[in-house]
Amino acid sequence: MKSLRIGTRGSTLARWQAEFVRAGLARHGVAAELVIVSTSGDRDRQSSLRVIGGKGVFTKELEDALLEERIDLAVHSMKDMPTTLPAGLAIAAICEREDVRDALISRGGLKLDQLPSGARIGTSSLRRQAQLRHYRRDLEMLDMRGNVDTRLAKVAQGNYDAIILAKAGLDRLGKAGQISEIVPPEICLPAAGQGAIGIETRKRDDELSAAVRKLNHDPSQAAVEAERAVLAGLEGGCQVPIDERLARAIGGIRRRGDLTSSRAFSGA
């Protein structure tokens, strides 16, 4: 098989994830190189994700590159993936999932219950805003954009009193030491697919898909696909405050969905 072109966004976390996939393929004797693809979500770092599109804002350009054969596979954070894929594309593998939970990073290491009334919490996710607003209506929820390092710097500089990030991303970048508290799922359920890396390919590329499939982790795939099925049924994207907790039961996966009204975000 020829050397493969792995499409990835240019952020440090995205490149870490793509390199993780490249190394996995190398262990199976498949050579690959990274190809950086700029997405609309990367180019516009100021606008709210709700304004610039939300669903697909970090994936469309990668999928276009796949369809145009400028890359051979694309690496995604599964929580960013729309539930409906373009015709001709498929998720060939989902790597073993890491910690699905959200993490709080605050000034002074304060935990969520220790934050003073009026504390400014930065997160671009409506899901997180709605659930945190429900738990503590006295906190101020503010949009924020930027990569992990940019967001951490904004806390250190005093722009925010605390931020919420996916723990898996912090773990991958060696930033777990900055976590003030792991947010309990009972307070803020994680996004569908959170903590999982997905590999997207063209359906017609059978040999390539078979090679990528060697990186698949069956339990992670089953859980993520179940969560995405619930999300699709509720017509929710990664910005909608919907989440799923999965419990393994004899005979398959039992799904349970939690739906939080977006009105909680506005204080209704």
Catalytic residue ranges? 80
> Taking the alpha carbons of 96, 100, 106, 110 in that order, is the dihedral positive or negative?
negative
CA 186 to chain centre: 19
> DSSP letters along the chain, please?
-PPEEEEE-SSHHHHHHHHHHHHHHHHTT--EEEEE---HHHH--SS-HHHHTSTTTTTHHHHHHHHTTS-SEEEEEGGGS-SSPPTTEEEEEEPPP----EEEEEGGG--GGGSPTT-EEE-S-HHHHHHHHHH-TTSEEE---S-HHHHHHHHHTTS-SEEEEEHHHHHHTT-GGG-SEEPPTTTSPPPTTTT-EEEEEETT-HHHHHHHHTT--HHHHHHHHHHHHHHHHTT--TTSSEEEEEEEETTEEEEEEEE--THHHHT-
Neighbouring CB atoms inside 10 A of 218's CB total 9
**Are the beta carbons of 90 and 210 closer than 8 angstroms?**
no
